[in-house]
Amino acid sequence: NILVDLAPTARASCAVTGMGIAKGEPRVLFRTLGEGVTKSQKIYKATSAAGLLSELRAAGAPVDVSSLPGMNNLPDEARRWVKEAAGGADMAGRTPPVVEGVKVARKGKGSPPVQAVGTPRESAGGTAVSSVAEHGEELSGGEGAPNETKEKKRRK
């Protein structure tokens, strides 16, 4: 099962590159499902998912990036980015868009996936979207980073 959404936090990193995924950055999730719930998943930057999607197509799977679940929930700029990046376009020197104000309802572990839907603030030009480069602090730890969370749990 493949899903595209916006990262609900800045805690995840790409399974291929190890690079952090900023809160609000489009990402691609490859999940295994069992009994209607997610059993495991790997999270990828859209550029890293391109190779996996290409392998699936080569094996005969009818994978169309535009029709992946979650694509219609993305703002236009994020949707274009995922379509190009996961489609295998050369993205060198380009930074992925980051949608501000991402809100996600959280469910228990192993629950069916919850679609991340951006609730970006409106600006004169429409949806407020920025690049990952503008959110570098989120990639290096920021509030809610894994180590900070573990430390809080130890104190309790």
Q: What is the mean pLDDT of the chain?
A: 74
Q: Which of 138, 132, 113 is nearest to 30 (CA)?
A: 113
Query: What value does the CA radius of gyration of the chain take, rounded to a whole number of Å?
Result: 16
Q: What is the predicted pLDDT for the residue at 101?
A: 83
Degrees to nearest 5, angle at CA 122 with 119 and 89? 70
Q: Which of 35, 97, 41, 46 is nearest to 68 (CA)?
A: 46
DSSP-derived letter for residue 100 is: T
**Which range, of 47-51, 88-92, 127-131, averages the lowest pLDDT?**
127-131
Q: What is the predicted pLDDT for the residue at 25?
A: 96
How far is residue 43's CA from residue 10's CA, in Å, rounded to a whole number? 12
pLDDT per residue as tens digits for the range 66-113: 999 999 999 999 999 999 999 999 999 999 999 988 776 555 544 344
Q: What is the predicted pLDDT for the residue at 107?
A: 55
pLDDT above 70 coverage of the chain, percent: 66
Q: What is the predicted pLDDT for the residue at 104?
A: 61
Q: What is the predicted pLDDT for the residue at 34?
A: 87
pLDDT per residue as tens digits for the range 2-25: 999 999 999 999 999 999 999 999
Cβ atoms of 115 and 105 closer than 8 Å: no
Q: How confident is the model at residue 45 (pLDDT cuts 50, 70, 90)?
A: very high
Q: Which residues sit opposite 119 in a β-bridge?
A: none
Q: Indicate the pTM of the whole model.
A: 0.65
Q: What CA–CA distances, in Å, run from 28 to 45, 147, 150?
A: 6, 24, 26
Q: What is the predicted pLDDT for the residue at 36?
A: 81
